[in-house]
């Protein structure tokens, strides 16, 4: 089974019109299309107009970092999947650990967001991952199975993307060893189709990407901090281009 790779940047709450312009300009000069894979940036809502204008017709796709589970209505501050479609988003991150930990999003809400995104024709990137405490208690598989299970209970995973992001490795500089990532990816693989892309996320840099991407069930990465550093992000995309399947 040949799967395409995906490297998706998660800018989180960073950026400005001027900084984005410089970053996108650099990426456009360095990233040309590859039939074997794809690269994307997931940006804060206000910058969707800017990225859609700059990246239209390029090899770089774009998306958002969150979406409402509701289609429309009196939900002050929320953004619907149809609105993201209006800006030609392809991807939307769902259930990121920062949403779960800081904003109290639970499995059921993440699953509802996933369904709303899919219903609008977006490709959700569902994040799953254990905390350090859960890993140390030997509960990693139970936790990621529960998080993924909430989505599978509602329906088919479809052509969505799964991202394994151990919470203890996000923004901490700690990375799961490639074999540790592979173990969880292989576990998740049994629960989704063979064609599903499973990304690794958590302190991926240009330097550690090749070893992580060499694992058989790792199909690219979800990149936080390093996606804001133009050369780092390009280096990670180049590492993905060398993935052999």
Candidate list 69, 96, 98, 105, residue with the active-site label = 96
Nearer to ligand PGA, 23 or 204 (CB): 204
Sign of CA dihedral 117, 103, 205, 132: negative
Nearer to ligand PGA, 8 or 150 (CB): 8
Question: Cβ contacts of residue 137 below 8 Å, gap of 6+?
Answer: none
Question: Cβ contacts of residue 125 below 8 Å, gap of 6+?
Answer: 8, 42, 63, 91, 92, 93, 94, 160, 161, 162, 163, 199, 222
- Judged by CB under 6 A, the stretch of 15-23, 110-118, 178-186, 200-208 that binds ligand PGA is 200-208
Question: Cβ contacts of residue 151 below 8 Å, gap of 6+?
Answer: 110, 111, 114, 115, 126, 157
Question: For residues 48 and 64, is the Cβ–Cβ distance under 8 A?
Answer: yes
Cα angle value 48/169/22 (rounded, 5°): 30
State how far the Cα of 152 lies from the Cα of 111, in Å rounded to an integer: 8
State how far the Cα of 24 lies from the Cα of 196, in Å rounded to an integer: 28
Binding mask 6-25 for ligand PGA (x = CB under 6 A): ----x---------------
CB of 118 to ligand PGA, least distance (A): 20
Q: 15, 37, 129, 202: which one contacts ligand PGA (CB under 6 A)? A: 202
Question: Is 179 in the active site?
Answer: no
Question: Is 185 in the active site?
Answer: no
Can you tell me whether residue 89 is helix, strand or coil? coil
Q: 40, 160, 162, 170: which one contacts ligand PGA (CB under 6 A)? A: 170
- Judged by CB under 6 A, the stretch of 21-29, 100-108, 151-159, 219-227 that binds ligand PGA is 219-227
Could you say whether residue 165 binds ligand PGA (CB under 6 A)? Answer: yes
* Residue showing the smallest CB distance to ligand PGA in the complex: 224
- Judged by CB under 6 A, the stretch of 16-24, 129-137, 151-159, 163-171 that binds ligand PGA is 163-171
Structure tokens belonging to residue 143: 């936790």
Q: Is 182 left (phi over 0), alpha (psi -120 to 50) or beta?
A: alpha
Candidate list 38, 98, 165, 232, residue with the active-site label = 165
Number of residues forming the site for ligand PGA (CB under 6 A): 13
Nearer to ligand PGA, 70 or 90 (CB): 90
Cα angle value 234/127/115 (rounded, 5°): 115
Could you say whether residue 180 binds ligand PGA (CB under 6 A)? Answer: no
Nearer to ligand PGA, 51 or 167 (CB): 167
Nearer to ligand PGA, 69 or 165 (CB): 165
Among candidate residues 128, 115, 120, the one with its CA nearest the CA of residue 154: 115
User: Which residues lie near ligand PGA (CB under 6 A)?
Assistant: 10, 165, 170-171, 201-204, 222-226
Q: Which residues are catalytic?
A: 96, 165
């Amino acid at each position: 089974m040949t799967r395409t790779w995906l490297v998706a940047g998660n800018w989180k709450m960073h950026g400005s019109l001027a900084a984005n312009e410089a970053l996108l300009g650099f990426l456009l000069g360095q990233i040309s299309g590859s039939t074997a894979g794809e690269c994307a940036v997931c940006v804060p809502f206000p910058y969707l107009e800017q990225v859609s204008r700059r990246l239209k017709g390029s090899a770089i796709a774009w998306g958002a970092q969150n979406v409402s589970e509701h289609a429309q209505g009196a939900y002050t501050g929320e953004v619907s999947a149809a609105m993201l479609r209006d800006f030609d988003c392809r991807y939307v991150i769902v259930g990121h650990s920062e949403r779960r930990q800081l904003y109290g999003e639970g499995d059921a809400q993440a699953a509802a967001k996933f369904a709303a995104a899919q219903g609008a024709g977006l490709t959700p990137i569902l994040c799953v991952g254990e905390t350090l405490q859960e890993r140390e208690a030997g509960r990693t598989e139970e936790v990621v199975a529960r998080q993924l299970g909430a989505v599978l209970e509602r329906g088919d995973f479809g052509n969505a993307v799964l991202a394994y992001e151990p919470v203890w490795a996000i923004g901490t500089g700690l990375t799961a060893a490639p074999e540790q990532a592979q173990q969880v990816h292989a576990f998740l693989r049994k629960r989704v189709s063979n064609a599903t892309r499973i990304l690794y996320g958590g302190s991926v840099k240009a330097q550690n990407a090749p070893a992580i991407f060499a694992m058989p069930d790792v199909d690219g990465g979800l990149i936080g901090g390093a996606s804001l550093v133009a050369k780092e992000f390009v280096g990670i995309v180049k590492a993905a281009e060398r993935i052999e399947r």
